[in-house]
Amino acid sequence: MSSHTAQTELKLIGKLIVEGDIACQTGLHIGAGKGSLEIGGADNPVVKDAFGLPYIPGSSLRGKLRSLLEQSSGLAVPSELVYISKRKGQEVRIHQSERPDDEVCLLFGRSPGRMDRVSGDSAESSAATPARLTVYDAPLIAESITAQMRENMDDELTEVKSENAIDRITSQANPRTLERVPAGARFHFRIVLDVLCPEDRELLPRLVEGLRLLEDDSLGGGGSRGNGRVALSRVKLTWRGRGFYASGAAEQELLTGADLGAVQSLVTASDFAEKLAE
């Protein structure tokens, strides 16, 4: 846990910008809602922008990072979870606490109000903290889809994976198709960490921990069936102190073209906090 307390005062010190590439090691499926099926189309299409290009929604990446950090911190247990939806068959449980040093809540924010706890009595929370983390939509890097890849795909930018669910009694096959962004495709991600007090500098190692966990987990749907393995590369860290916004002071490039191992070594160094000056 962090050194934040209930008396910690918030005042912008600066913003740390983390950018880089997300490369698909296997096909990636982040689904989109669809009101009707097209003849010959995939049963489960991927989400696309207004130009028809696949992208990774910031909400998908942010939610996955939060889930991984909750699990690694031992917070994905009934006593630490609250319902944000109790609709039968569509329950959604996430971690939220009122502890001022709870790094997950500090990174992702928390809202006041009534909390229906998964285990224990409901409670009225008065704690509200701003999210330090902003995760933007990651657009496709169009040139990562090569001409050779296009020749072997079902669509100009995506592939269709066929799967079967087999009945264990009759052995009847129930086929389904899944649209995926192919292995080899790359997306550009951008994450901004607001540093609102000196204690917030302790949150960056947790963010990097989440990104490293993501590389050995999966993004999107069907991860247990081989989808969604990704790798992060060409990572760039830029610090913009309060002076950058107030008086046009220069930004500070801390790292560029690095892998996550190099990023982690930098942010866990004993002198890293000194680099993040106003």
Q: Given a cut of 60, is residue 7 above it in pLDDT?
A: yes
Q: Which residue has the higher pLDDT, 204 or 36?
A: 204
Q: Given a cut of 50, is residue 58 above it in pLDDT?
A: yes
First to last CA, the chain: 25
- Taking all residues of the chain, what is their mean pLDDT, rounded to a whole number? 90
Please tell me the predicted confidence (pLDDT) of residue 106: 95
pLDDT band at 42 (very low <50, low <70, confident <90, very high): low
Please tell me the predicted confidence (pLDDT) of residue 34: 57
Instruction: List, edge to edge, every strand of the sheet that includes 230-241.
Output: 133-135, 186-195, 14-24, 230-241, 252-258
243-251: Cβ within 8 A, 24+ apart: 243/278, 244/14, 245/12
Mean pLDDT of 168-191: 92
Q: Which residue has the higher pLDDT, 239 or 2?
A: 239
Q: Whole-model pTM above 0.85? A: yes
Measure the CA angle with vertex 197, ends 191 and 203; round to 5°.
Answer: 45
